[in-house]
């Protein structure tokens, strides 16, 4: 046993796959201990906040201010408000308003803003302009107000008695706060999703649930496959005919069809993560059964098995002591494969809208499902779907690598 | 020819048996579930439709059509009779269209998309795998890790990434639909061009996911065959390399064909997701809409049709295999 494990860990592929899997398991276990936010908590009002560090504006006004004189501050400020597309749009408007094109220089911010201020009229109707475009220019115009000013911004507080605004302070352009001193800062490394949940926290929880679904489904599938394979291969005769018939039948009938029919019939309310795992387990045992049967048939007439039979051992004893140890490596490989297939099956079912119900636990499939329903790929909200796809791919990739490694250890013919 | 006939009859019998079993499963699985299916369906009906007369009509029609108040065996025969006539009832989510009409309008898209894509992917994958085994060296070193990674990539993930790269970022191809939303199906150039352009992304995403697994399988089969004794013997005999390679790949190909027959169900399952991601108007997308709309008759019919498609494809591959592999004839003749 010890020797086998040593041998397995000498295979490069297995070690790489195993390390990825262990790293993921560690993250899944450790992350919730450090970051204790509930994974399904809806934190953002609105959908798909981009990844970043969110600093409370109210608190940062109250925090200690530091004056930093940075040369590029003004340029950065203008650039963030006035993108190149905005400049081109401004040029279009000005040209349409009758300014000669050669007088407009979109790289000269000062002149451009001057021309804009003198000529822009929100009420002006330009032929061929849609309402949406008109609204865009109104928004642009509002955001440009005071862009070049070097004055600070006043903070006003409402007087509780009179209701009048009283100046409470001035924020100069060179004022900075230290993020570490602002009491409320939330880091959202992967932004928020279609429900306004923190994607990273949900993703970690979803990975944990999906792995659990994979393990449960994989163990169920392996147990069924192992039993059928042993019965078919060892007992033989009619039992073999029947199990082979059933196995062949479920090999050709597409699994996805069975999954869809069963999950749809169970109904949305009763579909928990565990139910889905059981359903997947009960529909994905065929390959294990085939592999085990083939192995058992080749073992059935070996000398040590015959000797055991002659000694009068029971079938259970023969299977446990003389057959199982020889096929254990196959069963482990099949189990790993089943786990990764089950995680994929869950994701597939969820994309179809037949996954576990949304309100209880997140799964990788459900996260992808909602990202797709909210059109995240088309809207360019990569943080809502890409990390999920990468996680699924990493899980299946690591498990398949482990499998390939094991295969090469146990079947020396495959080593190159 | 006697040997072939026995093989074909055997395969035909197996096809019919699997078909009957799939049919029975399609009928019984939803009915095995605890709870009252009629009540569940009626409650879903009430959600899907706001039109009271529509709800009433479908409910009445459903009771008449499936005879839900009768014993289960009788229901089964009613079901067979209806399916034989191509009558799957009304679609809940697309009332007043019948399920047969919905399926009919989508099945052509699926057939035209999936089978060419799977075959092209299979051919490319096998060619690459054989080349990797024969050329070895750098080609093999690059191809294999890429194939392993791609074959482990989930089908829907591949579709989403292709959608984002080629549809959204590069804007080379449209992101959804089977043809431009502003066109009416006709035999004009504009329409045909639109269909071709919309075809590309779903097609290549299916091809890509098929390639990986096939290349890996073909590579290991070819390596196994290249090291076989008959190859060494042929080399000693001085037979030209080109001719030996021909033999080797013919032998390596056979298990790949059996593999295709066994995997076709999984492949079609994966391809259905490409349709869903690209909103391609085929069976996969219809099924998705059925699930979203709680449309039981549509789901039942779509799954049945998909099963029949897969079983038929499987049958055709087995028949082709029988023709290609001469051992079949020899084994069955005695």
Quote the CA–CA distance of B219 and B168 in Å, as a whole number. 35
Residue pair A236/A229 in contact by the 8 Å Cβ criterion: no
In angstroms, the CA A282 to CA B19 distance is 21
Asked whether the predicted pLDDT for residue B249 surpasses 90, the reply is: no
**Which tens digits make up the pLDDT trace of B60-118?**
666 665 566 677 778 788 888 888 888 887 777 776 788 888 888 888 888 888 889 99
Residue pair B268/B114 in contact (Cβ under 8 Å)? The answer is yes
What average pLDDT does range B123-146 have in this prediction? 84
Beta-ladder partners of A176: A66
CB atoms within 10 A of CB B82: 15
pLDDT in tens, B265-279: 888 888 888 888 888
CB contact under 8 A, A397 and B163: no
Identify the band that residue B29 occupies on the pLDDT scale cut at 50, 70 and 90. Answer: confident
Q: Which residues contact A128 (CB under 8 A, 6 or more apart)?
A: none
Model ipTM? 0.83
**Contact between B321 and B258 (Cβ < 8 Å):** yes
Structure tokens at A140: 């642009």
* C-beta atoms of B32 and A252 within 8 A: no
| Maximum alpha-carbon separation in chain A | 106
Q: According to DSSP H, which parts of chain B are helical?
A: 2-32, 37-48, 52-66, 72-84, 99-135, 137-152, 155-162, 189-226, 229-237, 241-277, 283-292, 296-324, 326-333
Using 70 as the pLDDT threshold, list the residues of chain A that sit under it. 146, 148, 412-416
Q: Which residues are within 8 A (CB) of A354 and not within 5 positions of it... i.e. 6 or more apart? A: A259, A260, A263, A264, A271, B291
Contact A348 B32 (CB under 8 A): no
Q: Which residues of A touch B175 (CB under 8 A)?
A: 378
A251, A348, A389: residue with CB nearest B273: A348
pLDDT in the model for residue B34: 60
Using omega within 30 degrees of 0 as the cis cutoff, is the peptide bond preceding B96 cis? Answer: yes
Of B40, B306, B314, the CB nearest to A257: B306
More confident residue, B330 or A329: A329
Contacts of A392 in chain B (CB under 8 A): 154, 157
Locate tokens 């994958």: which residue?
B125
Question: What is the per-residue pLDDT for A154?
Answer: 84
Nearest to A296 by CA among A320, A279, A276: A320
In terms of CA atoms, which chain B residue is nearest residue A249? B18
For B34, phi and psi rounded to 5 degrees?
-65, 160
More confident residue, B260 or B71: B260
Helix (H) or strand (E) holding A157: strand A153-158
**Hey, are the CB atoms on A252 and B310 less than 8 Å from each other?**
yes
Q: Do A262 and B157 touch (CB under 8 A)?
A: no
| β-strands A185-188, A175-176 pairing | unpaired
pLDDT given for residue B293 in this prediction: 78
Q: How many residues does chain B have?
A: 334
What is the per-residue pLDDT for B45?
58
- Phi and psi dihedrals of B93, rounded to 5? -85, -20
Residue-level pLDDT at B68? 63
CA–CA gap between residue B294 and residue B296 (Å, rounded):
6
**What's the CA gap between B313 and B262, in Å, rounded?**
10
What DSSP string describes B284-329? HHHHHHHHHTT-HHHHHHHHHHHHHHHHHHHHHHHHHHHHH-HHHH
Contact B80, B282 (CB under 8 A): no
Whole-number Å distance between alpha carbons of A93 and B188: 39
**B29/chain A closest Cα distance in angstroms:** 6
Percent residues over pLDDT 90 in chain B:
3
Q: Is B25 in Cβ contact with A389 (below 8 Å)?
A: no
Buried b (16+ CB within 10 A) or exposed e, B119-136: ebbbebbbebbbbbbbee
Interface of A with B (CB under 8 A): 248-249, 251-258, 260-262, 264-267, 340, 344, 347-348, 351-354, 368, 372, 377-378, 380, 382, 385, 389, 392-393, 396-397, 400-401, 404, 413-414, 416
Gap from B277 CA to chain A (nearest CA, Å) = 8
Alpha-carbon gap, residue A207 to A212, rounded angstroms: 8
Q: What is the DSSP letter of B270?
A: H
**Contacts (Cβ under 8 Å, ≥6 apart) of B269:** A254, A255, A256, A257, A348
CB A305 within 8 A of CB A367: no
- Is A348 within 8 Å of B153 when comparing Cβ atoms? no
Nearest 5°: the CA angle A376, A378, A379 is 65
Which residue is it, tokens 């699994």? A255
For residue A414, give the DSSP letter: G
Name beta bridge partners: A171: A153
In this structure, what token pair is assigned to residue B192?
Answer: 């045909």
pTM for the full model? 0.84
pLDDT band at residue B27 using 50, 70 and 90 as cut-offs:
confident
Measure A240 CA to nearest chain B CA, in Å.
17
Report d(CA A197, CA A38) in Å as an integer.
10
Distance from CA of A347 to the nearest CA of B (A): 9
Q: Say whether A389 and B160 touch across the interface (CB within 8 A).
A: yes
> Which residues of B fall within a CB distance of 8 Å from A249?
17-18, 21
The predicted structure's pLDDT at residue B332: 57
Instruction: State how far residue B187 is from chain A, nearest Cα, in angstroms.
Output: 30
Do the Cβ atoms of B303 and A260 come within 8 Å?
yes
**A153 neighbors A162 (Cβ within 8 angstroms):** no
List chain B residues with CB under 8 Å of A336: none
User: B38 CB contacts (<8 Å, ≥6 apart)?
Assistant: B62, B63, B68
Confidence of residue B289 (pLDDT cuts 50, 70, 90): confident
Across the interface, whether the CB atoms of B154 and A252 are under 8 A apart is answered: no
Three-state DSSP at B95 gives coil
Q: Rounded to 5 degrees, what are φ and ψ at B74?
A: -65, -40
């Amino acid at each position: 046993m010890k020797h086998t494990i040593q041998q397995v860990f000498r295979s490069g592929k297995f070690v790489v796959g195993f390390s990825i899997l262990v790293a993921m398991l560690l993250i899944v276990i450790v992350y919730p201990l450090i970051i204790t936010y509930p994974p399904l908590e809806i934190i953002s009002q609105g959908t798909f906040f981009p990844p970043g560090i969110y600093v409370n504006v109210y608190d940062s006004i109250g925090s200690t201010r530091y004056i930093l004189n940075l040369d590029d501050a003004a340029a950065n400020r203008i650039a963030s408000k006035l993108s190149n597309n905005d400049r081109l749009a401004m040029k279009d408007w000005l040209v349409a308003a009758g300014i000669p094109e050669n007088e407009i220089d979109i790289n000269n911010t000062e002149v451009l803003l001057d021309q804009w201020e003198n000529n822009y009229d929100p009420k002006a109707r330009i032929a061929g302009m849609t309402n949406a475009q008109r609204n865009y220019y109104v928004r642009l115009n509002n955001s440009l107000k005071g862009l070049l000013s070097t004055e600070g911004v006043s903070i006003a507080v409402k007087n509780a008695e009179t209701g009048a605004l009283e100046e409470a302070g001035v924020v100069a352009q060179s004022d900075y706060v230290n993020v570490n001193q602002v009491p409320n800062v939330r880091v959202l490394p992967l932004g928020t999703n279609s429900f306004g949940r923190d994607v990273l926290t949900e993703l970690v929880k979803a990975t944990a649930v999906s792995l659990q679904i994979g393990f449960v489904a994989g163990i169920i599938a392996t147990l069924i496959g192992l039993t059928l394979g042993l019965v078919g291969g060892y007992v033989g005769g009619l039992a073999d005919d029947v199990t082979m018939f059933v196995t062949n039948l479920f090999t050709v009938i597409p699994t996805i069809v069975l999954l869809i029919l069963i999950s749809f019939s169970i109904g949305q309310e009763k579909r928990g993560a565990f139910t889905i795992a059981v359903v997947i387990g009960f529909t994905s045992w065929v390959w294990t059964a085939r592999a085990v049967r083939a192995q058992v048939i080749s073992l059935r007439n070996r000398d040590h098995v015959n000797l055991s039979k002659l000694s009068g051992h029971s079938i259970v004893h023969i299977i446990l002591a003389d057959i199982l140890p020889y096929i254990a490596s196959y069963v482990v490989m099949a189990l790993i494969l089943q786990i990764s297939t089950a995680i994929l099956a869950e994701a597939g079912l969820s994309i179809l809208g037949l996954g576990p119900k949304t309100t209880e636990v997140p799964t990788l499939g459900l996260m992808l499902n909602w990202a797709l329903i909210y059109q995240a790929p088309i809207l360019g909200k990569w943080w809502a779907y890409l990390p999920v796809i990468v996680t699924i791919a990493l899980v299946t990739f690591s498990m398949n690598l482990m499998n390939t490694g094991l295969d090469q250890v146990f079947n020396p013919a495959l080593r190159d | 020819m006697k040997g072939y006939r026995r093989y074909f009859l055997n395969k035909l019998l197996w096809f019919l048996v699997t078909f009957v079993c799939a049919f029975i499963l399609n009928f019984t699985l939803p009915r095995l579930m605890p709870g009252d299916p009629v009540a569940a369906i009626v409650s879903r009906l009430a959600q899907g439709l706001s039109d009271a007369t529509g709800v009433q009509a479908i409910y009445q029609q459903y009771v008449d059509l499936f005879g839900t108040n009768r014993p289960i065996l009788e229901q089964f025969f009613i079901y067979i009779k209806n399916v034989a006539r191509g009558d799957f009832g009304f679609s809940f989510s697309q009332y007043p269209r019948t399920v047969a009409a919905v399926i009919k309008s989508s099945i052509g898209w699926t057939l035209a998309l999936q089978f060419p894509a799977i075959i092209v992917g299979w051919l490319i994958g096998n060619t690459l795998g054989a080349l990797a085994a024969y050329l070895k060296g750098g080609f093999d070193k690059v191809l294999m890790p890429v194939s392993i990674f791609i074959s482990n990539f989930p089908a829907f993930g591949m579709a989403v990434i292709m959608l984002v790269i080629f549809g959204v970022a590069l804007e080379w191809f449209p992101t959804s639909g089977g043809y431009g939303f502003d066109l009416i199906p006709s035999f004009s150039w504009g329409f045909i061009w639109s269909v071709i352009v919309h075809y590309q992304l779903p097609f290549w995403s299916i091809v890509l996911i098929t390639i990986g697994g096939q290349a890996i399988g073909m590579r290991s089969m070819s390596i196994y065959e290249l090291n076989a004794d008959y190859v060494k013997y042929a080399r000693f005999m001085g037979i030209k390399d080109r001719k030996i390679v021909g033999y080797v790949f013919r032998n390596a190909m056979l298990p790949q064909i059996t593999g295709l027959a066994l995997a076709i169900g999984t492949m079609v399952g994966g391809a259905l997701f490409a349709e869903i991601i690209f909103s391609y108007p085929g069976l996969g997308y219809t099924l998705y809409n059925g699930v979203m709309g709680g449309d039981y008759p549509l789901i039942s019919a779509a799954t049945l049709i998909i099963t029949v498609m897969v079983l038929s494809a499987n049958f055709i591959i087995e028949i082709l295999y029988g023709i290609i592999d001469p051992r079949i004839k020899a084994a069955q003749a005695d």
